[in-house]
Each structure stands twice: as structure tokens, then as C-alpha cells.
Amino acid sequence: MDQPLSQGRAIADFSNSFAELPDRFFVRQTPAHVSGPQVIKFNEPLARELGLDIDAITAAGAAEIFSGNFLPPGADPIAQAYAGHQFGNFTPQLGDGRAILLGEVIDHNGIRRDIQLKGAGRTAFSRGGDGRAALGPVLREYLMSEAMHALGISTTRALAAVSTGETVFREQALPGAVVARVLASNIRVGTFQYFAARGDTDGVKTLADYTIARHYPALRQAENPYLALLAAVVEKQAALIAGWLQIGFIHGVMNTDNMTVSGETIDYGPCAFLDGYDPATVFSSIDQFGRYAFGNQPSIAFWNLARLAETLLASIDPDENRSVERATEILQEFPTKFQAFYLAGMRKKLGLQTAEEGDSERVQNLLNAMQENKADFTLVFRRLSETNLPERADARALFENPASFDAWHNDWQQRLSREPMDDAARASAMRQANPAVIPRNYLVEEALAAAITQGDFQPFHALLQILQHPFDNQPANARYAEIPPQTETIYRTFCGT
Ligand code: AMP
Ligand code: MG
């Protein structure tokens, strides 16, 4: 085999801080060797942002590096420990069962980022699993995370997708793959739970100190840094979940082990986007009771944050009652903070620069009308943003009973008459808040099916390209912005990466 890196060169200047934490935080683990790695997609702009030396990588090098076959100099691969509540039930040990942290780099903005290989083989945390990932879920994570980034939502990123040449078994034989993803960190609510569940207060404190230093350094000076950390995560998650609701994103498996303390969206398993607006929408086949339904996401985030708060109690104040009191006070701010982020974002979607008392109700009235009329969430808002474009399509036509739209629309028009912005400026601002294209479920499935059954990656590349510019009108690719076919209503997603 040719060397993956040019003679004497390194791909990155790794600086691995998590591996310097106490031994019980992680297990050292080399990725499994795979037989025939091939790059499907390499995210060059992201690689540059991370300061990777792309020119050092030889022709065959990227496949070797991002499949885990070749360890670049400075990498110190580990699997991290965490626990988590899955659908409300606590498991004291989960951990990286199919993801291996290659190492950390400092990006062009001075931010420390993890480079992690998901699907890189078994670790000490794999339990019964094979540590591998199938091609479909890898492409799905790539598309979804990059789409979310382009939509302006805080998220882990995809650096590379590599097919491995191995077969993985998920009820059937499937091609294997690895996704190299980039994270602000891999610290989850469940990481805190891992130590708290063992009564390891030192472990919680060490993790909290590390989290503060890495994500919220200003809090080191706070009167009570652990309480301040809780407040910071509450704030970050309130903003994140509001963002999800504004673009119609359903995470699908908001277990505490799938919620970061950095505020990035993580773990794209059964996630999907709304078509017709309905807060009860659930796509995941394993979410039988709708725990993670679209409209439940704020209350689930709140519940998860309460689990985080519990882990910090012993660190916040030696007096338990006092600690509970202070943590509760911070936690209770979540609904208000969420509402504030949500309303601010919805105002943007409706082109409102000023704030008026009735705006919240105005938003709700539109959503109610959309729900009653099975109107497409993305398209209604997009069409409201295109009122001054020659190619505009009518939002009204998306409602089964257009009269219910008319009533709302009249009220909105009156509200707009009290706005300072002129129509053209408003419409253009609205188009920056209301995407024309999202990763529609059927488009994603189409791209995955072509790759899996025919080895045809063209639809994947085409869709990825479109999703990189979600707010642009792309007339040549109008089909990506269309209303989905009827079959959509029975759409189901599955977990197993
Ligand atoms: P998830 O529900 O995808 O967030 O994963 C929950 C837990 O299951 C995590 O600890 C994963 O590492 C683990 N896991 C999921 N799939 C596999 C697999 N194929 N092999 C080993 N562990 C896995
Ligand atoms: Mg997970």
C-alpha cells in the first residue's frame, strides 16, 4: 500500500485533551481494520476550516485515514464513557460503542473540535453491537448534519463518508461505511450521568471543569461555576430546540445520551423533517408512544436538563436543600427562555421586525390553520416569503380549506402595515429565515436507495449540493422544493446506524 501521507508530513496538529482526563473517562481503542475503504465524499471546506493539511494526503490516503485503517501521527484514539436515559429508562453504561475519537484539533477560529470515526469497530462499550455502521445511515447522517448546518442550526458536522468494503448485518447483509464527524465535543448529558450514577462526585466535578474550560471558559469566574454551567446549557438547548421547531426538524431519539452540553445537534438516527404541519408527528418506528414527537421536543429537552441538574447537585452546594433550590431556579428558566427564542425566530419567519403583544397568538393561529388543513410546513412559510417574486406560488393553495388561510392572512397583512420594513426588503429577509429546500424524507430515501442497491452515488451528491444552499431559489432544481408525494404519510425511520 502507498503511504496515506506524503513523506514526513502530518495531516493535523492533534492536541488531545480528553485523553488526558482520568482513566475512568474513556478507553483507548484503535479503529478496526477494513478491507477495501473508498472515499464517497470528503468535505474539503470543513477540512480547511479545521486546519487539516489536505495536500499532505496522498491519492489513497483519505480512505485509509477516515476509515480508521491508518492512524495519522498525533492521533490518540479513544472511546468515551457515558450513560443515559433511553425513552425514560436509565442505563448506567452506554458509551461510544461504535464511535472512536481520533483526536482533537484547534480550528481556524481557535475552537477545539473532535474528529470522530463513527462505525469504526467494536469498543469496550459496544455491548452486543458490532461497532459498525451501514452505508445508508452513514449517508443519512452526512446529508442531515450538513443540511442542518446550512440551515443555520448548531450541529455536529460531516467531514468524510467512506465505504469500508465490509458487509454489516442488520436483518440483512448491507454494505458497511464510516462517517468521520466533527464535534464541538462528545460530552453529553449522559456523560454527567455516568459519573453521578456511580456516586463519583469527583468525576462529575472533573467533567464539569473540563466542560467549562472547553465550552464556557468565561464561567470559571462565576460565583458558582457549576450552577453557571447548568444555566449555560439550559440557554444553549433552549436556542437549539427553538431552531429545530422553526425548520420542522424531529430528532426522533432525544435520549439524554443524545443531548450535548455544547448545544450541538447530535446523533442523526431516526431524525426526519415535517411535511404537513402536525405537532404529534413521529417518524421513528421505535417511538411507539410519541415521546419524541415534534411538538414534545421542548418538554423533553426540559426533562433531560433536569437529569443534568441532578448530576450537578452535589457540586453546586454542600447543603442539599440549598443546592436543589438553586438548581431548580435555573432549570425553571427553560420554558421562558425557549419561548423567547422561539417567538423571536417565528417573528423572523413572518417578517416581523418589531414585537407586538399578539404575535405569539398570531403564530399559533397560523400553525393551527396549517394543522387543520394539512398544509406543508416548509412551503407555507417559503411561499409567504415570495409574495413579491415573479415566480411566486400561492401559500393559500396549500390549505385544504383556503378560507381558513384568508382569515389569518388578513390579520397578518394588517400587522405588517405597522412594520417599518418595505415589502421587498421584508420578503428578502423572510427568504433567509424560510428555506426553500429541506432534506425531504423521500428525497433522502431516494438518494440512499440508489447508493445501497445500485452503488449509484449521484443522487446523494446532487441532493447534498442542493441542501448546501437551502435559502436560494434553485429553479433548475425545482423538484427538490416540491410538495412530497402522497406516500410520505406512511414514512418510517429506523435507528440502527
Ligand atoms: P443511539 O441510540 O444510536 O444513540 O445509540 C445508543 C447506544 O448504543 C450508544 O452507546 C451506541 O454506542 C450504542 N450502539 C448503537 N449501535 C451500535 C453498534 N452497531 N455497535 C455497538 N454499539 C452500538
Ligand atoms: Mg447516541
Q: Is 257 a catalytic residue?
A: yes
Instruction: List pLDDT tens digits, range 36-51.
Output: 999 999 999 999 999 9
| Nearest ligand (C-alpha, residue 188) | 2
Query: Does the beta carbon of 98 sit less than 6 angstroms from any atom of ligand 1?
Result: yes
Mean pLDDT in residue range 356-364: 98
Atom of ligand 1 nearest to the CA of 253: 2
Atom 12 of ligand 1, residue of closest alpha carbon:
97
Higher per-residue pLDDT: 387 or 195: 195
Verify whether ligand 1 is closer than 6 Å to residue 93 (CB atom): no
How far, in Å, from the CA of 321 to the mean position of ligand 2?
A: 33
Contacts 24+ apart (CB under 8 A), 402-410: 404/369, 404/372, 404/373, 405/369, 405/373, 405/375, 407/369, 408/362, 408/365, 408/366, 408/369
From the candidates 96, 114, 257, 376, which is the catalytic residue? 257
Classify residue 179 as exposed, middle or buried by CB count within 10 Å of its CB (0-12, 13-18, 19+): buried
Reported confidence tier of residue 208, pLDDT bands at 50, 70, 90: very high
* DSSP structural state of residue 155: B
User: Sorting pLDDT into bands at 50, 70 and 90, what band is 489?
Assistant: low
What 3-state class would DSSP assign to 168?
strand
pLDDT, tens digit, 9 for 90 and up, residues 86-102? 999 999 999 999 999 99
Q: Where are the alpha helices (DSSP H) in 104-161?
A: 135-150
Q: Assess whether the C-beta atom of 333 lies below 6 angstroms from ligand 1.
A: no
Q: How confident is the model at residue 476 (pLDDT cuts 50, 70, 90)?
A: confident
Confirm or reject: Cβ of 166 under 6 Å from ligand 1.
no
Residues 6 or more apart whose CB falls under 8 angstroms from that of 53 comprise: 9, 10, 11, 12
Ligand 2 center from residue 160 Cα (angstroms):
19
Q: Is the CB of 248 under 6 A from ligand 1?
A: no
Angstrom distance (rounded) from CA 57 to CA 59:
7
- Asked whether the predicted pLDDT for residue 490 surpasses 80, the reply is no
Shortest-distance Cα residue to atom 7 of ligand 1: 94
Instruction: Write the pLDDT tens digit of every residue in 268-316.
Output: 999 999 999 999 999 998 998 999 999 999 999 999 999 999 999 999 9
pLDDT tens by residue, 422-456: 999 999 999 999 999 999 999 999 999 999 999 99
Alpha-carbon distance of 223 to 378, in angstroms, equals 44
| Nearest Cα to Cα of residue 395 among 361, 430, 353 | 430
Rounded distance from Cα 40 to ligand 1 centre (Å): 23
Buried b (16+ CB within 10 A) or exposed e, 207-217: bbbbbbebbbe
Output the average pLDDT for the chain: 95
Cα(205) to centroid(ligand 1), Å? 26
Strand-pairing partners, residue 81, are none
Q: Tens digits of per-residue pLDDT, 329-347?
A: 999 999 999 999 999 999 9
Nearest-angstrom CA–CA distance, 146 and 158: 7
pLDDT value at residue 245: 98
486 pLDDT higher than 80:
no
Is the CB–ligand 1 distance for residue 337 below 6 Å?
no
Prediction pTM value: 0.97
Q: How far is the CA of 257 from the centre of ligand 2 (A)?
A: 6
pLDDT of residue 281: 94
On whether the CB atoms of residues 240 and 329 are closer than 8 A, the answer is no
